[in-house]
Amino acid sequence: MNIDSRLYRRWVFVGILFLGAVIIWNLVFWYQEKSLLKVSFLDVGQGDAILIESPSGNQVLIDGGKGRQILRVLGQALPFYDRSLDLVIATHPDADHIGGLPFVFERYEVSGVLDNGQTEDAEDFQFFSASAQKETDARFTAHAGQQIDLGDGVKLDILFPQRDMQGMETNRASVVVKLTYKETEFLLTGDLPSEIETYLAQNKDNNLTADVLKLGHHGSRTSSSEIFLKTVNPQYAVVSAGRDNRYGHPHQEVLARLKDMNIFTASTAKQGTIEFISDGYNIVCKKCVSVL
């Protein structure tokens, strides 16, 4: 056997070892990824959109912003070949929450739709309702006590509304969702105003504690009351709002309250999409930037 042949075999052996190591590490990373819950607060400008991806692969979209921007951010959050969602939740029929959902129904296969049961004459709602009805027969009304199992220990609990909300002001009828993965919790509140926050906080049957709180109404002074923040006691708060929006969200009173309570606060207006990762015991906010 000449020297060139020995060198060739040696390099082939080294190459096989290297390839094996790459495969093993890819499997390790794949396994770790499969055991994680990902919650992304999508940057849709002045509006709400939250993507939940459970370890089992189930995907839930809560709200969809106002226009087509939801398609761009969903395309960034999901692989290009993934064109399905297991559930879409519309928290209430305001344009900055449901206006983008008809475009989602056009591009993605949606298995089910959950909303607060309100009907509106507004064009945005009519477009949403017709698109949802065309997309799926599985359309349900949210009410407190419902629980949705997303697999691998991930559960969505509906905390509000607790009765028929037809005729109620839309923000007051916002669907409130608590997402739980083992020992970690997210509380997602739509545009819930402070009077309903207080009502929920004073009801001892509600378990409102959460590691991450999506602030109601884009950080408006009409939400995020002191009693509610103290009851939830979050480590993180998220503001979903547009950069330089005309409403001045988030309002300074709310930011001051959050700062006094030492709650780390991130905003889509400042950093774009905000992504949290949970292994069921710890939560990490990837590249989070505080607005306080």
Give pLDDT tens digits for 74-93. 999 999 999 999 999 999 99
> How many whole angstroms separate alpha carbon 86 and alpha carbon 152?
15
Looking at the structure, tell me whether residues 263 and 236 fall in a common domain.
yes
Domain-located, residue 291: no
> How many whole angstroms separate alpha carbon 97 and alpha carbon 266?
19
Task: Pull the structure tokens for residue 39.
Answer: 């919650």
Task: Pull the structure tokens for residue 186.
Answer: 């997210």
pLDDT of residue 24: 43
Domain-located, residue 292: no
118 or 12: which leads in pLDDT: 118
- By mean pLDDT, which of 6-20, 48-62, 84-98, 226-240 is the weakest? 6-20
* pLDDT above 50 (res 290): yes
10 or 272: which leads in pLDDT: 272
Non-local (6+) Cβ contacts of 147 within 8 A are 155, 156, 157, 158
Give pLDDT tens digits for 188-229. 999 999 999 999 999 878 899 999 999 999 999 999 999 999
DSSP for 173-192 reads G--EEEEEETTEEEEE-TT-
Looking at the structure, tell me whether residues 24 and 147 fall in a common domain.
no
Looking at the structure, tell me whether residues 131 and 61 fall in a common domain.
yes
- By mean pLDDT, which of 50-54, 70-74, 165-169, 236-240 is the weakest? 165-169
0.95 surpassed by pTM: no
Range of the domain at 101: 36-286
> How many independent structural domains does the chain possess?
2
